[in-house]
Amino acid sequence: MPPTIKELPTLSWQPTSGQAVYDAGGASLTLTAAATVDWSNDALGGPQQHAAAALGFVAPETFSLSAKVVIDGPRTTFDAGALSLWVNPEHWAKLCFEYSPQGETMIVSVVTNGYSDDCNSRPVQGNWTYLRVSRVGPGWVFHASADGQFWEFIRLFRLASDAPVHVGFLAQAPLGESCVARFEEIDLRLEVPEDLRDGS
């Protein structure tokens, strides 16, 4: 059964069930990815992958969801903790704190409308960062932050579907045995930044 977080709507898994523990005392959510799980609709035509599990809720019409994402211990290529959006296998997106093939931790975003549009944004120093997803009218916005105060604009996009969107938290380990991602300082607000590019 999915954990309960009183500050969030009822949580459920998409597109498959996963492993999660919520520490109410520490206000932290820990997701443990199974081996070799990912979300990918390869733009070069490779097999689709949707075995990673996202824990979340039906997205409100207007909102922002942010969290501090922490990954301790050894990492493997492309493993990540992420904020995720899921409609169906053809329409989804994720904002990742990911480990690159060059051994760097990075902000990476993937937007999928049929095929995945995969974009590396910038390196991150250390084992944590802040991520935020917002819904603004028909669009979605990804931001990242080093301190949870100044938010760097990462991406503005649409998902080409009118169906309900499941927003939440994801852990993936495409080439590894597992990835344990911890989400702290989880903050859901039913409002969005007035200016998407001024750091607010």
Averaged pLDDT for residues 33-53: 98
Radius of gyration over every alpha carbon of the chain, rounded to an integer in angstroms: 15
One-letter-per-residue 3-state SS of the chain: CCCCCCCCCCCEEECCCCEEEEECCCCEEEEEECCCCCEECCCCCCCCEECCCEEEEECCCCEEEEEEEECCCCCCCCCEEEEEEEEECCEEEEEEEEECCCCCEEEEEEEEECEEEEEEEEEECCCEEEEEEEEECCEEEEEEECCCCCCEEEEEECCCCCCCCEEEEEEECCCCCCEEEEEEEEEEECCCCCCCCCCC
Tell me which residue of 30, 5, 23, 15 sits closest to 178, measured CA to CA. 30
Query: In the 8-state DSSP scheme, what is residue 196?
Result: T
Tell me which residue of 175, 180, 163, 174 sits closest to 50, measured CA to CA. 174
- pLDDT band for position 98 (50/70/90)? very high
pTM: 0.98
Residue 73's pLDDT is 83
For residue range 139-154, list pLDDT tens digits in order.
999 999 999 999 999 9
**Class of 12-189 per CATH?**
mainly beta
For the chain, give the number of residues: 200
Q: Alpha-carbon torsion 166, 150, 22, 175, what sign?
A: positive
For residue range 114-134, list pLDDT tens digits in order.
999 999 999 999 999 999 999
Residue 121 tokens read as 């944004």
Query: In the 8-state DSSP scheme, what is residue 9?
Result: P
For residue range 161-192, list pLDDT tens digits in order.
999 999 999 999 999 999 999 999 999 999 99
Residue 95 tokens read as 């904002």
- pLDDT band for position 20 (50/70/90)? very high
